[in-house]
Structure 1
């Protein structure tokens, strides 16, 4: 009887279990080599689908493909347990601790490869891992025998496992700032990532009738890219003070690139040319130190397509530059039912294998901590990479400890080089879970002098004397327009942004007024920014009303900026949109306190706290009559962040409610046996020692993890090429073509809160494909505002 791992949809050809296991092993070994654990990850690939050797599974998949009307219920045959069960039975022995740990790490990955990592111990003091490891299995003895007969004989298998144990011991005995438990936690996730990618990639190759993976030779690209970048940099004028400073900073970063991997800071003031300067560092460093890829990671509130477009234009290789804004495909909570019956959406490739990637902090953190298999599949790709975090101060406060630990892991074990870019460096070494920044890690020398040289704005405090209504603010905008060509207003909520925009439109017939919001897709915002730049370049009158998304990563310069009171970091970023290129001697940035902004919702807590801390500092400066000091100096910023984190110290470790009990995410993921409350409760209540080495609760933590407090769903919108993408997705496609279209869809998506999605579903404004991909109908997208949850849009002009 031939085994069956998969049956190809188009021609009903069979991939045998032994073919799939051995080919997945080879891929997983290649991924694991990055951490020196090729046999550990290879072992996961070798055993993950062992359960497909049963006659039950063969009968199930044959009927599911050839006789679907008579097939057993999908997911009714367990194929994910046998491989982990074999490891547990053979090697989980108390007298062999490293074999025990190997069985737990690799076994968990195998048990979980169609869902997510199991809890070693649950809040109910049970063990999801042990339930699988000790689960009775039909045909288990026959399954093991078939594996040893057809895949790898017993002696060779024992040798292979021995090599995996040696690698594990070497990894765990290495000296670092990491505790044993943190090492094990991140190692488990890395092995899981390598297995998921190896399994999905091999299945995709079979389905697409390909034999090998095309790995891009990044080393051959870095030199080409570097030469193209230098041609661009050398073409820049060196005739102004700002341009001379930018060139000076760029040269410093090139010199710094020779240093080995680590965590460094790049504290270039706004307008200092961070994008190209950091790219120069990244390309030179990748070339010298043989890095595989470069990732730009930006805030979830920013517009990443601008930086990506700039880099694409310079490097002239768009096919190898990926923009990944969001997961267009909804990651299934549990896809145990994918037993050998492949589908294009599950196999579509978004595993971050491009040489240069632009993505968001949300996507980065999801890779390490979110539930499901689609996010964590990308984790191993972060090894031996250069990671540029732009506007790192935007990392949500409740995620800071988890963020720090992820970066520490990438630096210590994954040979990643990490640069934290911002004009306002947060005090990430002030928190309990400190970031292991290299000593003397600032790329810029003589930083205070550089900051002073870049000063181009005057901060005007209009926030401590009174609060402002929308009507008063509208009058102030028009008053300022009598003296300047352009005004940018940045407010804290979409509601007041829209209200001010409508007030200004009603009063102005001759000044173009633009609106920017996260309710618009990236392509829409890009078009609006290009139109505004035309007005700005020609010194024509223009007004823009925006949420804070315009603050980070947007190269645009207004004569005057008005910023609703927020944290000093936000004020500094807003100031970076004023007189950005030194067009004037000095530009004015007005801080106002908008009375109509409702910041009481929990999702706006950080903005509220930042506003309160900033207001204290402003009042203190006024009382001490030190207003002449630079509000945005490194000293002021350091004070701000220390007070800000002190106000939010109870949130830094990501506290969650688990069955009515408050738990910190760091405990669920990194606790030792002595510090784990679940472990101690298990021992006290059951009067026996917990039988596993690891006490972590990965599944529970992941199910509670949200970078943004309010869960959002990506929806493809019918703006520009978005309409063509929607038509392509609805028509069905091959895996390869679908992957290409999904990459294109990144700039035509908008994130919807759950209440917005539900309202659109109720009024018929949204369509779902298998509850995986959501698309917006034409009537629910407005040319001025973006998504219209009322679905009663009358298409309007871009400005009144």
Structure 2
């Protein structure tokens, strides 16, 4: 009798039972992308190292089992099932780098692992029979790497689930099906459809877009775009497309990928209102699913769903989505197989970072071509990506008359006013009752705020932790609705999807996409005349931040001189075409595609190296916890006592500010912070936190660092 797991109460799980159950689950997960039989053999082989006498002795005597993954990798390699062999080798420690044939035994690469001597495990042949299964896809670098991760996902989720079912059974799933959610959507939108002819012109146009999305949902699968200006109702319309499409083709789930948590929270609220709070998983760093009290089944179910994305509607971030697709870690890859046969909507698609644009586009292309995904690039400023996709993939527009929408939903005028100092800008804003200025740096936002009249002034930047920003936004919205003075100095975090409506907006020179996003905060509801809703574009003092210099240059030198209306669809396309040409090989800053196509450092398939390097927010920042308020003080106390669990980090993230390394070190040298780990500290000098502007960028002693 060979054992896979031993429970605390002494109960034993047979190894044969575990292997066969994992194989069955892995097969069911991988059938979504045509690799069911292949995954079945992988499931049978992944733990055959546990057949060694040494492992069985360790297990029964409550010892440590050592390496039991290499044995399965060796057997699958013998069967020439190379992706499966990689998955077996890494199912506990993460997918290893492939390495090269010269790698010696003991190296952590796949080639090194295959040469490693392991305890005899041939007893597996008494209970398990392994047969070679051919690989279902064409073998080339990027594609085989992508397939390997998807296969790895099917294995590790199956392994986790079967182990969980034996060791600590929990209640998973229980969500409503996609057809049920579609019926709820139809009930929600029915009044709009029935009264389209009697609504105001804007609502009539929104309903027209909605009807078009429902019809488009019945058409073929593939890569789509939905180009709808701000105010066109694309949140509900895109959900209508996705649900109709999922019902039409029997797809499993809908995944919304969004750049900012502020948009995620708004979008998730809308979806919960339509399909029910119990069917929408919101997955990002600022959401917490730790159960309250002794039992909270809903929170626990959502927490479990963050592990493998088995919910019908998931709203997540660009960071979570793309970094998982290029990760080698089992915890991040576990959910990937559930992307197959789904609708994935990339909201604000133009916000995918340019430095990682090519690998992200290639990943979307793989999902569409090989994994049954219908992907939707959803934005008001379509980023002209078609030429970056592999041959054979074309983008189909869901609303074909999108160019006609621009003049209909146009609500602002752009006016270029040249250079302005902070004092000059503050003086202009002081003469207006409600006005927003969007600047390029946190330093500029702080200085402008301090120069504004005190009544009704607000500041928004990442110097304020998420919780404080949320409170500030609520206060801003209240004053706007009440017609009270409201003057806001903000960084670009307010641009994407934040639902505020100012009569006037000032925008420091930036790329055209940022300027158009800023314009979405002006006359958002269309209640004011066009000529009274001005977006003033000005040149701030000092140099343009290096990160946006190319964007500003294209706008000033190629868009402004050549287009009467720089917000027109033609201008937007010209802007993105020029930007992609200008960046050149910087569309893949870390050379991720090349690493999988040609190898790196003499080795093939560098899963671990790429996983370590692939970070969409590629900034050397450290976190400072701001202990303001009773709840934050309790969290700080827990942190000092050594509690730094994933659940704690989710809660504490709402009270954290991220700063660059030089500023962090200056605060530390001035004894303004208490170091907890190398990348995390607690603010101890609370004089450095201002309720209006957030964390000061100047330590009590030492030099100031502004970013």
* TM-score normalised by length of structure 2: 0.85
Equivalent of 1:565, from 491, 509, 530?
Answer: 509
Q: Which moves more between the two structures, 406-415 or 720-729?
A: 720-729
Q: Which moves more between the two structures, 193-202 or 555-564?
A: 193-202
User: Contact conserved, 1:4 with 1:17, CA < 8 A, in 2?
Assistant: yes
Secondary structure of residue in 2 paired with 1:135: coil
Residue 590 of structure 1 pairs with residue 536 of structure 2:
yes
Equivalent of 1:536, from 480, 498, 507?
Answer: 480
Mapped partners of 1:470, 1:186: distance in 2: 49
Q: Which moves more between the two structures, 280-289 or 750-759?
A: 750-759
* Residues 270, 25 of structure 1: alpha-carbon distance in 2 compared, 3 angstrom cutoff: same
* TM-score normalised by length of structure 1: 0.76
Secondary structure of residue in 2 paired with 1:187: helix
* Residues 418, 677 of structure 1: alpha-carbon distance in 2 compared, 3 angstrom cutoff: closer
Number of the residue aligned with 2:125: 148
Number of the residue aligned with 2:71: 82
Equivalent of 1:48, from 26, 46, 49?
Answer: 46
Mapped partners of 1:573, 1:518: distance in 2: 18
Equivalences for residues 346-357 of structure 1 within 5 A: 350-357=307-314
Secondary structure of residue in 1 paired with 2:427: helix
* Residues 350, 743 of structure 1: alpha-carbon distance in 2 compared, 3 angstrom cutoff: farther
User: Contact conserved, 2:559 with 2:574, CA < 8 A, in 1?
Assistant: no
Secondary structure of residue in 2 paired with 1:460: strand
User: Contact conserved, 2:324 with 2:333, CA < 8 A, in 1?
Assistant: yes
Number of the residue aligned with 1:462: 417
User: Contact conserved, 1:229 with 1:280, CA < 8 A, in 2?
Assistant: no
Number of the residue aligned with 1:452: 407
User: Contact conserved, 1:112 with 1:118, CA < 8 A, in 2?
Assistant: yes
Number of the residue aligned with 1:669: 596
Number of the residue aligned with 2:89: 111
Number of the residue aligned with 1:322: 281
Mapped partners of 2:194, 2:684: distance in 1: 45
Mapped partners of 2:27, 2:154: distance in 1: 8
Equivalences for residues 377-776 of structure 1 within 5 A: 377-431=334-388, 434=390, 437-438=393-394, 441-463=396-418, 467-479=419-431, 481=432, 485-504=433-452, 508-510=453-455, 512-586=456-530, 587-596=533-542, 599-600=545-546, 604=547, 607-617=548-558, 620-621=561-562, 629-654=564-589, 656=590, 664-671=591-598, 695-711=604-620, 723=632, 726=635
Equivalent of 1:191, from 146, 151, 172?
Answer: 151
Mapped partners of 1:273, 1:445: distance in 2: 16
String of CA shifts for 1:421-440, please: whole Å, max 9, x gaps.
11111121344x5586535x
User: Contact conserved, 2:667 with 2:673, CA < 8 A, in 1?
Assistant: yes
User: Contact conserved, 2:178 with 2:243, CA < 8 A, in 1?
Assistant: no
Mapped partners of 1:61, 1:752: distance in 2: 46
Mapped partners of 1:260, 1:714: distance in 2: 46
Number of the residue aligned with 1:277: 237
Equivalences for residues 324-343 of structure 1 within 5 A: 324-326=283-285
Mapped partners of 1:477, 1:434: distance in 2: 48
Secondary structure of residue in 2 paired with 1:645: helix
* Residues 116, 764 of structure 1: alpha-carbon distance in 2 compared, 3 angstrom cutoff: farther
String of CA shifts for 1:231-265, please: whole Å, max 9, x gaps.
57469996433222212211111111111211111
Mapped partners of 1:731, 1:782: distance in 2: 23
String of CA shifts for 1:726-760, please: whole Å, max 9, x gaps.
4998799xxxxx99888777767666656677777
* Residues 583, 649 of structure 1: alpha-carbon distance in 2 compared, 3 angstrom cutoff: same
Mapped partners of 1:220, 1:413: distance in 2: 25
User: Contact conserved, 1:264 with 1:442, CA < 8 A, in 2?
Assistant: yes
User: Contact conserved, 1:428 with 1:434, CA < 8 A, in 2?
Assistant: no
String of CA shifts for 1:556-599, please: whole Å, max 9, x gaps.
21100111111101111111111111110111000011124661
* Residues 381, 758 of structure 1: alpha-carbon distance in 2 compared, 3 angstrom cutoff: farther
* Residues 530, 213 of structure 1: alpha-carbon distance in 2 compared, 3 angstrom cutoff: closer
1:374 Cα deviation after fit: 2.2
User: Contact conserved, 1:200 with 1:347, CA < 8 A, in 2?
Assistant: no
Give unpaired runs (5+ residues) of structure 2: 289-302, 701-707
Secondary structure of residue in 2 paired with 1:418: strand
Number of the residue aligned with 2:18: 20
Aligned CA RMSD, in angstroms, stands at 3.8
Give unpaired runs (5+ residues) of structure 1: 66-70, 92-99, 173-178, 330-345, 657-663, 683-694, 733-737, 793-800
String of CA shifts for 1:658-697, please: whole Å, max 9, x gaps.
xxxxxx22111134xxxx5867xx9xxxxxxxxxxxx432
Equivalences for residues 231-250 of structure 1 within 5 A: 231=190, 233=192, 239-250=199-210
State the number of aligned residues: 677
Secondary structure of residue in 1 paired with 2:585: coil
User: Contact conserved, 2:632 with 2:655, CA < 8 A, in 1?
Assistant: no
Residue 3 of structure 1 pairs with residue 30 of structure 2:
no
Mapped partners of 2:622, 2:174: distance in 1: 31
User: Contact conserved, 1:718 with 1:781, CA < 8 A, in 2?
Assistant: no
Secondary structure of residue in 2 paired with 1:549: helix
* Residues 423, 307 of structure 1: alpha-carbon distance in 2 compared, 3 angstrom cutoff: same
Mapped partners of 1:125, 1:230: distance in 2: 61
Number of the residue aligned with 2:115: 134
Equivalent of 1:292, from 252, 256, 280?
Answer: 252
Number of the residue aligned with 1:690: none
Secondary structure of residue in 2 paired with 1:534: helix
Mapped partners of 1:677, 1:593: distance in 2: 43
Mapped partners of 1:537, 1:435: distance in 2: 50
Mapped partners of 1:84, 1:206: distance in 2: 25
